Amino acid sequence: MKYNRVIVWFRNDLRVHDHAPLISAMTKGAEIIPVYCFDQRNFHDLDLGFPKSGAFRAKFLIESVENLKRSLQSIGADLILEVGNPEERIIELATSFQAEAIFFSEEVTQEEKLVEERLEKSAWKLGIATEAFWQSTLFHMEDLPFPTNLVPEVFTQFRKECEKFSKVRKTLGAPQSINFPDNLSHSGEIPDLSTLGLSKPAHSKLGVLDFKGGEDEGKKRLQGYFWEKDLLKTYKETRNGLLGADYSSKFSPWLALGCLSPRYIYEEVLKYEKERKKNQSTYWLIFELIWRDYFRFICKKHGNKVFQISGIKNIVDNWRRDETIFWNWANGETGIPFVDANMREMNQTGFMSNRGRQIAASFLVNDLEIDWRWGASYFESMLIDYDVCSNWGNWMYVAGVGNDPRESRYFNILRQANNYDKKGDYIRHWIPEISVISGFDIHQPFELSTKSLNEKGVVLGKTYPKPIAKIKM
């Protein structure tokens, strides 16, 4: 063994299967100490008044960490828990536990890289070794057919070259046992939402799937979608749906926190193709995993440009910054039913369909002309499947400052509503007050009533249902 004790710092890789730092640590370290640190900076309020990580995201994270702890305990280890700045707390733990090395997953964007750099610098001063591992993508960075600084700007080229010249590495098996030190007196506690400055999110009866964090729940979702309900064979035809639990795989929340490895999903797709059916739908799920890879490598290539108003195209800033208009959009109070229904679903559940995200984002930037970064930040706060690279990459794409090869891509909201919610079922589900209106096209804009007060004087949200004259958008 190279090291007597190795700390494995878990980040957005909350699983024990296909975990490169953990498996490597077991081959190089006599004793393994798994650690997770809740970074309080991720829960502070942003300038617009909402937290960087909202209650739905935080709840899903807490559940995922709880599940990881149970999984480690089942194989003879435990998860040491901290709250604070990881670059400080983990170094303190390493010193206290006399660990000789710290292994962790490599990230690509500014905040995460800064934490890595600070930790590595402090560890080096103390003579503690560090090793970073790439494991967040389907294709390993070392297996790309081009260096990361030459990643193609157009997705189609990226996909075709990866499919032709790269292979997906096999998953690493989950360990059966871990040699965890007997004499550790510190374990820590998982914080609750109030500790993180958040309130428990209200449970919405309108939600179509009860998302629960953790590796076990992610595998359970895959087992149900692929093998029990046999839905993968129709994924491409249904993936643009809006209502129901099973129009899409909905693996993204577990992928975002690394509860599921993309390579694990890939291998399950290959198994399904061999045992059940191989068609365009089975390929399309892999296609979506490649999109996820693409945005991660684009972020690695372009660095902080993905967070700047001009994006990677360096387009001159001409966005509006009207907070009243922004909050009407964020609260689902624009008077455009299809947009409002999607925003209300996200606000009440922490999830929104892929089609809904494109519609809501396009409306904010193309119709309302609001700073696209405000929308990206709001999605970051609200979505349980927030992934820094996919979120900011997609928002750049929609805003026309990213990788979209088409100029001035525009979503006609009314046409989209008629295409994907022709009978208005989705709209009525999330805006039930509309159901009392008859003789009017449900997709047309509405004039929302003024805000009212309840008996305690608390302001209630704007409400439908006064339709205005039909207009074209």
Q: How far apart are CA 21 and CA 14, in angstroms?
A: 12
Q: How far apart are CA 402 and CA 458, in angstroms?
A: 41
CATH number corresponding to 313-467: 1.10.579.10
User: From the CB of residue 247, how many other CB atoms can be counted at a distance below 10 Å?
Assistant: 19
Angle at 471 between CA 470 and CA 472, to 5 degrees: 135
pLDDT score of 404: 79
pLDDT score of 473: 41
- Whole-number percent of the chain with pLDDT over 90: 85
Give the architecture (CATH level 2) of 136-171+212-307: Alpha Horseshoe (1.25)
- Whole-number percent of the chain with pLDDT over 70: 94
pLDDT score of 438: 59
Q: Which residues neighbour 331 within 8 Å (Cβ) at sequence distance 6 or greater?
A: 343, 347, 461, 462
DSSP helix/strand/coil, 265: helix
pLDDT score of 446: 81
Kindly state which CATH superfamily the domain 3-135 is placed in.
HUPs (3.40.50.620)
Tens digit of each residue's pLDDT (9 = 90 or more) over 388-440: 999 999 999 999 999 877 766 788 888 999 999 999 999 999 998 887 665 56
Going by C-alpha positions, the residue among 64, 113, 63, 124 that lies closest to residue 91 is: 124
Domain ranges of the chain: 3-135, 136-171+212-307, 313-467
Q: Which residues neighbour 340 within 8 Å (Cβ) at sequence distance 6 or greater?
A: 332, 333, 334, 430, 431
Tens digit of each residue's pLDDT (9 = 90 or more) over 315-356: 888 899 999 999 999 999 999 999 999 999 999 999 999 999
Mean pLDDT, the chain, rounded, equals 93
What string of H, E and C letters represents the secondary structure of 326-392?
A: HHHHHCCCCCCHHHHHHHHHHHHHCCCCHHHHHHHHHHHHHHCCECHHHHHHHHHHHCCCCCHHHHH
What residues does 38 pair with on adjacent strands? 83
